[in-house]
Amino acid sequence: MKAVTVTDDGDADTCKTIAVISGSSPTGENNEDYEQYTPPLNFAMVENGIYRSGFPDSTNFSFLQTLSLRSIVYLCPEPYPEVNAEFLRSNGIRLFQFGVDGSKEPFVNIPEETIREALKVVTDIRNHPLLIHCKRGKHRTGCVVGCLRKLQKWCLTSIFDEYQRFAAAKARVSDQRFMELFDISTFKHISKEFSCLKRMNFSCEGTVISFPPEDNDDFFSLLDNK
């Protein structure tokens, strides 16, 4: 399997499309059978077994199948679309919904207890591999990941840097203030397995990619060696 093309329409939030040659003919000739893998917007690996993104649509399903997801943490209050729900059912993926309102500043009200409940799911390795997503993968997802980083003892500067990479010009002071004040003292029973999670290189079935803004040469080299 070999990565052969990457397309990008110039939108910073739009993920690249990966065109893959799926094989060759018995005679050794190239089989021009291309398969498209398109990650959801703002897709990235958070940790071993934990991913983040914006809202996936049907064009992303083939890519999501490569992750062998066990769970999805959905952070919007709206009902999950039936086409997405059917994808989850057909792939044995469990949906955890934590409805967080997407209001804009200055009317942002981030429910701390809801974020805590979401984090309990995220930190339970029985739910991994897991994808966290909201609408665009910026604010609500960014808050959950930022609070997760506090559990992992990241400094605030690094937490804010990661948040701003995805939120960019739409970064919210209220989100960063929430992460700064989030109390992790009640999370006293995080599993040892989770606390030891580290970034690892994966095969295509457990991808190590980041969209945006990291360079993804490592991912393409993984595909090249499939």
Show which residues are catalytic.
Answer: 134
- How far, in Å, are 33, 60, 133, 185, 199 from residue 124 at the CA level? 39, 25, 17, 17, 17
Residues 22 and 4 sit within 8 Å (Cβ to Cβ):
no
Structure tokens at 21: 């040659």
d(CA 214, CA 211): 6
Question: Strand 130-133 vs strand 71-74: parallel, antiparallel, or unpaired?
Answer: parallel
Annotate 119-165 with three-state secondary structure: HHHHCCHHHCCEEEECCCCCHHHHHHHHHHHHHCCCCHHHHHHHHHH
What angle (nearest 5°) sits at the alpha carbon of residue 37, between those of residues 31 and 38?
A: 150
Residues 129 and 51 sit within 8 Å (Cβ to Cβ):
yes
Structure tokens at 91: 């792939």
Structure tokens at 52: 């983040």
d(CA 81, CA 89): 12
Residues 132 and 46 sit within 8 Å (Cβ to Cβ):
yes
